[in-house]
Chain A
Amino acid sequence: MKLKQILLISILAAIPLIIIEYLIPINPYFPKISSIITSGTLFYQSYNLLVNLITSITTIYASFFITYFIAKLLLSVYSKYKMKEYYISLSRLVASSLPSIFIGFVIIMWMPGNSLSEFVFILIIALVQVNYDSIKSIQSLPKEYLEYLTPILQNGTKAKKYLYVNGLISNILKKLIESHKYFWTMLIFFEFASGSDYGVGFLIRLSIEYWNVSMLFTSLTILLVVIFIGESALRFLFNRLFPWSNLN
């Protein structure tokens, strides 16, 4: 991004902020910047902002990390067994038709509201997606790779395992990173709905309970920044690890 563009965007963003801060009287819709900063300080001092942030961040990225290894394991398992049509249909049905919040509500009912339950929730929805993406990737793998490697290895299963685990993992991770915002949304929903007293979802719930629009805007701004940094870091890492599979 050129300096001129950054300058222009900054000016465009600054105009409404200045109007809200200095021209519009205090109202329940648009909080003043100074109130948002005050709320940030309040979150930090009275509501363990850092701990809440770390809890949510750990939940998301620990789930991603574990999902990566489970995806490799899944691909390895799928290389050994021929997938039945009903299993493929079921996986598709669960991944595309079952809303993740259903799973969330069930976990809220089944497990005590703690950080483990939200971790389990994010892990389950990540695995549902990864499972179906694995199946789709396997189905779309050009058969020529297998035809080439099978006579070399004299073993179709070994050829499949190598191709699936090494060739398809980037596709699956790409889809996972593209859904990064979705996982954050689901996590916030879970923290919000489970009545927990941790995580960014808790801060948002607190803001709504107190009907404090400054606190709400503060929570959402923090969330926006965390998602932006997280996604940029994931994309950077992905492009470093899989330079041949470009993620724009």
Chain B
Amino acid sequence: MFLELKNITKLFNSKSGVNRRVVENLSLTLDESEKGKIVFFHAPFGSGKSTLLKIISGVESSSAGEVIVEGKNIRNNDLGLYFIPQKATSFPWLSVQENIETILKLKNQPIVPKKIKEIISLCELEGYEEHFPNEKSLGFRFRISLASCLILSPKILLLDEPFKEIDKVTKDELILLLQKVKELGITIIYASSNIKEILTVADIVYLFELKPLSTYKKFSFSEESVMEKFKILGESLFNQN
């Protein structure tokens, strides 16, 4: 197995003593053949998709269960899973180039100018190396966050609705960029409540039932058009919402 979620449960304890169950006994697998694909987690708004991505990336710990990547538990292991949240996360106090270099420095990895140049080129940030992200668009800032993750050669990128507040034209450009990233053999897990968001490029779609996240339907696509994907998903989507 490439990625395995084993009986993941996440409980949030409120001060009033009421426990909120966001993820319940969720098990999910991506096998070796599904490596390097774009995986779309689709669930209704507020159902706990972000929490699930945070658990997979190790930002949050689960109340029960474990996340295993290539046979290793993610806890205390750097397995190359990086998370890009919905809002901009590039460091405004650093230029584009410095953002990427800082990640390498913080990881005690050598700075290889050739590789940085390649990543900058891939993320279409050429000519902007000395620009600062503040006052730049969300799309631009997403590219910096993506470049900073790509420089570390990740295995899995977890994206939490990063295109939600981005205009249509930029969104289309970024979707093309994700396809290029996929071609590098990187698995992308993209969570959104908007089915249209990246359905065009999604290879695998997980349709989660209403909260707590527990059961789902899995669909794998190869060459289907968006309309065909919609047709296949149709009934399940209707039942979901």
What is the interface of chain A, defined by CB distance below 8 A to chain B? 142, 144-154, 158, 162, 166-167, 170, 242-245
* Selected contact of A148 from candidates B78, B89, B134, B152, CB within 8 Å: B89
Query: Would A152 and B85 count as touching, CB distance under 8 A?
Result: no
B residues near A158, Cβ cutoff 8 Å: 106
Give B75's nearest chain A residue, CB to CB: A154
Range, interface on chain B: 20 to 34
B residues near A162, Cβ cutoff 8 Å: 106
Kindly state whether residue B39 has any CB partner on chain A within 8 Å.
no
Kindly state whether residue B204 has any CB partner on chain A within 8 Å.
no
Shortest beta-carbon distance, B130 to chain A, in Å? Answer: 11
* Selected contact of A144 from candidates B82, B86, B103, B134, CB within 8 Å: B86
B residues near A146, Cβ cutoff 8 Å: 59
Query: Would A144 and B59 count as touching, CB distance under 8 A?
Result: no
Query: Would A147 and B152 count as touching, CB distance under 8 A?
Result: no
- Given A142-B87, A144-B88, A244-B134, also A152-B152 (CB < 8 A): yes
Query: Would A148 and B84 count as touching, CB distance under 8 A?
Result: yes
Query: Would A244 and B92 count as touching, CB distance under 8 A?
Result: yes
* Selected contact of B91 from candidates A147, A153, A167, A242, CB within 8 Å: A167
A residues near B92, Cβ cutoff 8 Å: 167, 244-245
Query: Would A152 and B103 count as touching, CB distance under 8 A?
Result: yes
- Given A158-B106, A244-B134, also A152-B91 (CB < 8 A): no
Query: Would A144 and B93 count as touching, CB distance under 8 A?
Result: no
Q: In terms of DSSP, what is the predominant structure of the interface of chain A?
A: helix
| A204 CA to B168 CA, complexed, in Å | 65
Shortest beta-carbon distance, B68 to chain A, in Å? Answer: 16
Kindly state whether residue B65 has any CB partner on chain A within 8 Å.
no
* Selected contact of A170 from candidates B86, B89, B93, CB within 8 Å: B93
A residues near B145, Cβ cutoff 8 Å: 148
| A243 CA to B92 CA, complexed, in Å | 10
| A142 CA to B87 CA, complexed, in Å | 9
From A142, A149, A151, A170, name the one whose CB has the most chain B CB atoms within 10 angstroms.
A151
* Selected contact of A244 from candidates B57, B132, B148, CB within 8 Å: B132
B residues near A154, Cβ cutoff 8 Å: 58, 76-78
* Selected contact of B93 from candidates A150, A153, A167, CB within 8 Å: A167
Q: Which of B44-61 contact A (CB under 8 A)?
A: 54, 57-59
Query: Would B93 and A147 count as touching, CB distance under 8 A?
Result: no
Shortest beta-carbon distance, B129 to chain A, in Å? Answer: 15
- Given A152-B149, A153-B106, also A147-B82 (CB < 8 A): no
Query: Would B93 and A148 count as touching, CB distance under 8 A?
Result: no
Query: Would A166 and B93 count as touching, CB distance under 8 A?
Result: yes
